[in-house]
């Protein structure tokens, strides 16, 4: 654990109550390191941070256009959503455009991660379904791609399925990483996830953001997805979440995407840079402040832009009575003295 950098500290009454280590890297589209802390070459599972790269073939193949998917539906194909009403309606619409419904989804079922959405569902006497799974939009995108290609959709989550082969090839191309059975595991939603160096994930985000080092058709697809997300960031994450908030504030200047177990990546297109952070212990709260710190460090932000970012850089912690009892502080750049 000694090679990990300090990502964040959580305080209570001025004392550090928890501390998070991990790895952080900023690279350009060639993968050249602009900033690195910790072992940036060690393989990590990108989990849901890779979703936009897996969604590229849906756009690049023109399947999305042939099927009439709208921009908010393209965002859902990249999303880890909270199961709120617009998310569920959008995924339903995507499936309907290929004559399918929720029964085609192979992502499994969980309650909406938005507690408000979950309680609303419960208040209506309803149970969650696979549409509420945070990955349902990604899966609907895979089903759309399968149908457009004339492939049988069932089994689309399997590594050998033609759709999974196509989207995996896209991820390999954009990140430059080797993806095969030796670094493969199963993600929370049943699709493969491949452990890749954090530097490669950041490189993929740099390329996704700038289009550099990508084939022109792939670069155009990335731009389209990125602008769609920036125009409707609620759809990629959900109410109150980091990715929603940072893109509501900074728009297309950032493309930010979280993944499970403390992985988080972002693109800064105007600089051609990609950011990737892995919190060693899997805590999203630490990866988020680290990503916020790196965004603030590298983007030239006005004071007005910095102001709302403060809540993401230094989240205040309150107790159940509403009393402020501590905060989360970034550990990068030695702000901690």
Give whichever of 103 and 320 is closer to its own copies, judged by the CB atom.
320
In which residue are the tokens 């930010």 written?
256
User: Under a CB-based contact definition with an 8 Å cutoff, are residues 60 and 314 in contact?
Assistant: no
- The least CB distance from residue 271 to its own copies, in Å, is 30
The residue (of 43 and 176) whose beta carbon lies closer to its own copies is 43
Q: How far is the CB of 120 from its own copies (least distance, A)?
A: 8
Backbone φ and ψ of 50, nearest 5°: -85, 0
Provide the 3-class DSSP secondary structure of residue 193: strand
Give yes or no for a contact between 255 and 194, defined as CB atoms under 8 angstroms apart.
no
Q: Provide the minimum distance between the beta carbon of 298 and its own copies in the complex, in angstroms, as a whole number.
A: 25
Q: Is residue 136 within 8 Å of residue 80, measured between CB atoms?
A: no
Interface contacts to its own copies, rule CB under 8 A: 1-2, 4, 6, 10, 12-15, 17-21, 43-45, 106-111, 115, 118-120, 122-123, 125, 133, 183-190, 193, 195, 261-262, 279-283, 286, 319-323, 325-326
Q: Are 104 and 143 in contact (CB under 8 A)?
A: yes
What is d(CA 63, CA 41) in angstroms, rounded to the nearest whole number? 35
Place of tokens 């089903």: 143
Q: How far is the CB of 105 from its own copies (least distance, A)?
A: 10
CB of 186 to its own copies, least distance (A): 5
Return the ∠ at Cα 224 (arms to 43 and 237), rounded to 5°: 60
Question: Which is nearer to its own copies, 269 or 284 (by Cβ)?
Answer: 284
Is the Cβ of residue 209 or residue 262 nearer to its own copies in the bound state?
262
Distance CA 286, CA 307 (A): 20
At 170, give phi and psi (nearest 5°). -65, -45
Q: Which is nearer to its own copies, 188 or 209 (CB)?
A: 188
CB of 315 to its own copies, least distance (A): 14
């Amino acid at each position: 654990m000694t090679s990990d950098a300090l990502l964040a500290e959580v305080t209570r009454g001025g004392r550090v109550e928890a501390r998070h280590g991990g790895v952080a890297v900023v690279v350009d589209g060639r993968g050249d390191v602009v900033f690195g802390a910790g072992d940036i070459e060690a393989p990590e599972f990108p989990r849901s941070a890779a979703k936009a790269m897996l969604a590229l073939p849906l756009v690049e193949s023109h399947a999305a256009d042939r099927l009439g998917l709208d921009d908010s539906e393209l965002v859902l194909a990249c999303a880890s959503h909270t199961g709120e009403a617009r998310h569920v309606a959008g995924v339903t619409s995507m499936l309907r455009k290929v004559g399918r419904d929720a029964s085609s989804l192979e992502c499994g079922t969980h309650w909406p991660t938005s507690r408000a959405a979950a309680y609303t569902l419960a208040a209506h006497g309803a149970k969650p379904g696979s549409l509420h799974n945070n990955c349902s939009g990604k899966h609907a995108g895979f089903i759309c791609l399968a149908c457009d290609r004339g492939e049988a959709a069932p089994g689309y989550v399997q590594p050998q399925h033609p759709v999974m082969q196509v989207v995996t090839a896209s991820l390999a191309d954009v990140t430059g990483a080797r993806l095969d059975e030796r670094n493969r595991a199963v993600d929370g939603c049943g699709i493969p996830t491949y452990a890749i160096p954090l530097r490669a994930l950041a490189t993929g985000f740099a390329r996704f953001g700038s289009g550099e080092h990508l084939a022109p058709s792939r670069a155009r697809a990335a731009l389209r997805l990125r602008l769609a997300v920036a125009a409707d960031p609620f759809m990629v994450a959900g109410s109150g979440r980091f990715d929603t908030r940072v893109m509501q504030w900074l728009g297309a200047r950032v493309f930010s995407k979280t993944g499970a177990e403390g992985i988080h990546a972002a693109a800064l297109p105007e600089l051609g840079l990609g950011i990737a952070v892995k919190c060693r212990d899997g805590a999203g709260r630490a990866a988020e402040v680290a990503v916020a710190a790196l965004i603030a460090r590298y983007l030239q932000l006005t004071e007005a832009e910095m102001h709302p970012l403060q809540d993401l850089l230094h989240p205040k912690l309150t107790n159940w009575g509403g009393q402020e009892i501590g905060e989360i502080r970034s550990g990068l750049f030695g702000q901690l003295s």
